[in-house]
Amino acid sequence: SWWDQVTRARDRNVGWRIDYFFVSDNFKKNVKDAFIMPDVMGSDHCPVGIDITV
C-alpha cells in the first residue's frame, strides 16, 4: 500500500503493505472483503478498503 517514489517502486509494484484493518474475533464474521486500490493515483500510498455488514 506504499511505494518508494525515489526508486520508482510503484512502476515495478515493489512496495510495502503498511496499511491494515484490525477487527476483533467477534466482528470478523462481519468482514466480507478487504482490498487495496492500486489504480488510485496521486500519492505514494494507495487507499485500502473494507466491506462489512452490520
Backbone angles phi, psi at 41, to 5 degrees: -100, 170
Domain boundaries, the chain: 19-52
Q: What residue spans of 1-54 are helical by DSSP H?
A: 9-12
In this predicted structure, what is the pLDDT of residue 54?
87
Question: pLDDT tens digits, residue range 1-36?
Answer: 899 999 999 999 999 999 999 999 999 999 999 999
